[in-house]
Amino acid sequence: MKLFKNFITFEGIDFSGKSTQTKIIAEKLQALGLNVKLLREPGGAVISEKIREIILDNAHQELHPRTEILLYSAARAQIVHEKILPLLEAGDYLMLDRFYDSTTVYQGYGRKLDIHFVEALNKFATSGLAPYKTFFIDISPEEALRRRKAADRHSDRLDNENAEFYQTVWKAYQNLLHQFPNRYIVIPGDETIENISTFILHKIIEIWKLPL
């Protein structure tokens, strides 16, 4: 397993506010003078962003679960080797919005693919790179659906999933939290945007021992 202290990931079910939070926090850290990068999955590199378009395209309803996991993994293999490993090896700080835990819960549990195969594929795509810490912004599946309705966002393929899928994914994340209690930091997602970002920011400063 490859572990870099300067590598932190963010996970959560859809509509957890994860992308809003990672942007706010990265900007705050950069304003404090820290050389921190923010990348997202699927995406974050030219080839991986193209794969993201295929995966999320609403017209691709026929996308098979096996094709889907291979596409997520292909996007990941590219961003890891092209961007993430060189950045970490150069000593940069990196915040990543989703990583292989998303594949474990969405494809492994959500699509009911063999979990041992999924874990092996995750290792293959990442060459064994693992996050040092992972923030999980926790909202209930019911809250996710409520936010989806309020946002009236039905723009991508994954937004069409039903309540049961979100429930399964949320439960799978709870399993991961128990499996990796030292890596995972859980934040209640129903707090205000400001409270959540302040909490995470302080934790990151502590984890990275930043002299700020």
The only residue of 78, 103, 126, 134 in contact with ligand TMP, by rule CB under 6 A: 103
Provide the minimum distance between the beta carbon of 188 and ligand TMP in the complex, in angstroms, as a whole number.
19
Question: Of residues 155-174, which lie at the interface with ligand TMP (CB under 6 A)?
Answer: 158
- Does 133 help bind ligand TMP (rule: CB under 6 A)? no
Question: Of residues 16-35, which lie at the interface with ligand TMP (CB under 6 A)?
Answer: none
Provide the minimum distance between the beta carbon of 159 and ligand TMP in the complex, in angstroms, as a whole number.
8
- Please report how many Cα atoms fall inside a 13 Å half-sphere around the Cα of residue 91, on the Cβ side: 1
Phi/psi of residue 3, each to 5°? -130, 130
Residue listed under structure tokens 């699509």: 111
Compare residues 98 and 133 and give the one whose CB is closer to ligand TMP. 98
Name the segment binding ligand TMP (CB under 6 A); options: 1-9, 100-108, 134-142, 182-190: 100-108
CA 32 to chain centre: 24
- Please report how many Cα atoms fall inside a 13 Å half-sphere around the Cα of residue 35, on the Cβ side: 6
Question: Of residues 61-80, which lie at the interface with ligand TMP (CB under 6 A)?
Answer: 72
Can you give the length of the chain in residues? 212
Which residue has the closest beta carbon to ligand TMP? Answer: 106
- Please report how many Cα atoms fall inside a 13 Å half-sphere around the Cα of residue 136, on the Cβ side: 24
**In terms of Cα–Cα distance, which of 134, 34, 45 is closest to 84?**
45
Residues in contact with ligand TMP by the rule CB under 6 A: 14, 41-42, 72, 98, 102-103, 106-107, 158
